[in-house]
Chains A and B, each alone.
Chain A
Amino acid sequence: MKFPAYIRSLAARLFHRSQTEADMEEELRSHIQHRADDLERSGLDRREAERLARIEFGGQARVKEEVREQFGGNFVETLMQDVRFGLRVLRKSPGFTIVAVLTLALAIGANAVVFGVMNGLILRPLNVPQPGSLYGIEHADEHNMWESYPDYLDLRDRNRSFDGLAGFSIDQVALDTGENPSRAWIDAVSGNYFDVLDVQPYLGRVFHGSDEHGPNSAPYIVLSHAYWQAHFQGDRGVLGRIIRLNKHPFTIVGVAPPEFHGTLLIGPPDFYVPIVNQEQIEGRNTLDERRTHSLFMTLGHLKAGVTPEQAAADLNSIGAYLEKTYPKDHGSTTFRLARPGLYGNLLGGPVKAFVTGLTLLAGLILLAACANLGSLFGARSADRSREVALRLALGASRNRILRQLLTEAVLVSLAGGALGLWGSVALLRALSAWNPFARFPQLGMPVSPDANVYAVALALALVSGLLFGIVPMRQVFRTDPYQIVKAGRSGAVGRRITARDLLLAAQIAICAVLVTASIVAVRGLARSLGSNFGFEPRNAMLIETDLDSADYRGDKAIEMQKRMLDSVRTIPGVESVGLIGRPPLYGGGFAALVFTDQTTDLRPANAALTAMKYNVSPEYLHAAGTVLMTGRGFDWHDDKDSERVGVVNRELAGKIFGSTMNAVGAHFKLRDGARVRVVGVVEDGKYESLTEDPEPALFLPILQAPMTETCLVVRSYRDPQPLGAAIQSKMRGLDRGLPVFIETWHQQLAIALFPSRLATAALGVLGAMGAVLAITGIFGMAAYSVSKRLKELGIRIAIGARPKEVLQAALGRAFKLLAFGSAAGLLIGIFASRVLAFIVYQATPRDPVVLAGAVLAMLLLGLLATWIPAQRALSVDPLTLLREE
Chain B
Amino acid sequence: MSGQAQLLPGTLDLLILKAVSLGPLHGYGVLLRIGQISERALLIEQGALYPALFRLVRQGLLKASWGTSENNRRAKFYELTSAGRKRLREETEGWNRLVSAIASALAARPEEI
B74's nearest neighbour on chain A, judged by CB, is: A30
Residues of chain A within 8 A of B27, CB atoms compared: 27, 30-31
Whether A33 lies near B58 (C-beta < 8 A) is no
- Residues of chain A whose beta carbon lies under 8 Å from any beta carbon of chain B: 23-24, 26-28, 30-31, 33-35, 37, 56-59, 62-63, 66-67, 69-72
Interface residues in B42-90 by Cβ distance below 8 A to A read 45-47, 50-51, 54-55, 58, 69, 71, 73-76
Report if B18 contacts A (CB, 8 A): no
* A139 CB to nearest chain B CB (Å): 67
B67 CB to nearest A CB, Å: 11
Q: Is the CB of A71 within 8 A of B50?
A: no
Q: How far is the CA of A325 from the CA of B69 in the complex (A)?
A: 99
Q: Is the CB of B50 within 8 A of A67?
A: yes
Within the complex, which residue of A27, A30, A59 is in contact with B47, where a contact is CB–CB below 8 Å? Answer: A59
Binding site secondary structure of chain A: helix
List the 4 closest A-B pairs by CB distance, nearest first.
Answer: A34-B28, A66-B51, A70-B54, A30-B75
Question: Is A57 within 8 A of B54, CB to CB?
Answer: no
Q: B42 → chain A, closest Cβ, in Å?
A: 17
Identify 17 new A-B residue pairs, CB closer than 8 A, beyond the known A27-B27, A27-B50, A35-B46.
Answer: A28-B50, A30-B26, A30-B69, A30-B76, A31-B27, A31-B50, A33-B71, A33-B73, A34-B28, A34-B29, A34-B75, A35-B28, A58-B47, A63-B47, A66-B50, A67-B50, A67-B51
Which of B46, B69, B71 sits near A56, CB closer than 8 Å? B46
A24-B73 contact given A34-B26, A70-B58, CB 8 Å threshold:
no
Given contacts A59-B47, A70-B55, contact A34 B76 (CB under 8 A): no
Known: A31-B28, A34-B75. A57 touches B47 (CB 8 A): yes
Compute how far the CA of A58 lies from the CA of B27 in the bound complex, rounded to whole angstroms. 15
User: Which B residues lie at the A interface, using CB under 8 A?
Assistant: 26-29, 45-47, 50-51, 54-55, 58, 69, 71, 73-76
Kindly list chain A residues whose C-beta atoms are within 8 Å of the C-beta of B55.
70
Interface centre among A31, A67, A71 (most CB of B within 10 A): A31
| Least Cβ–Cβ distance between B44 and chain A, in angstroms | 12
Closest to A23 in B: B76
Q: Which residues of B contact A27 (CB under 8 A)?
A: 27, 50, 75-76
Which residue from chain B places its CB closest to the CB of A64 in the assembled complex?
B50
A62 to chain B, nearest CB (A): 7
In chain B, what residue has the closest Cβ to A59?
B47
* Bound Cα distance from A71 to B76, whole angstroms: 17
- Which chain B residue shows the least CB distance to A41? B71
| Nearest chain B CB to A496 CB, angstrom units | 49
Assess the B58–A31 pair: CB atoms within 8 A: no
- A-B contact list, 22 entries, CB within 8 Å: A27-B50, A27-B75, A27-B76, A28-B50, A30-B26, A30-B69, A30-B73, A30-B76, A31-B26, A31-B46, A34-B26, A34-B69, A37-B71, A57-B47, A58-B45, A58-B46, A62-B47, A63-B50, A63-B51, A66-B47, A66-B50, A70-B55
A22 to chain B, nearest CB (A): 12
Q: Chain A residue with minimal CB distance to B56? A: A70
Task: Report which residue of A27, A59, A62, A69 has the largest number of chain B beta carbons within 10 angstroms of its beta carbon.
Answer: A27
Cα A561 to Cα B26 in complex, Å, equals: 106
Max chain B CB contacts within 10 Å: which of A35, A58, A69, A70? A70
B39 to chain A, nearest CB (A): 18
* Distance, CA A26 to CA B27, complexed state (A): 12
Q: Closest B-chain residue to A35, C-beta based?
A: B28
**Chain B min CB distance to A40 (Å):** 10
CA A682 to CA B54, docked complex, whole Å: 94
Q: Which residues of B are found within 8 Å of A66, using beta-carbon distances?
A: 47, 50-51
CB distance from A551 to the nearest CB of B (A): 87
Query: Could you say which residues of chain A place their CB within 8 Å of the CB of B69?
Result: 30, 34
Closest CB of chain A to B24's CB: distance in Å?
Answer: 15
> CA A27 – CA B67 in complex, angstroms?
11
Contact status of A34 and B47, CB under 8 A, knowing A27-B27, A70-B54, A70-B58: no
Query: A521: shortest Cβ distance to chain B, in Å?
Result: 63
* List of B residues within 8 angstroms of A35 by Cβ: 28, 46
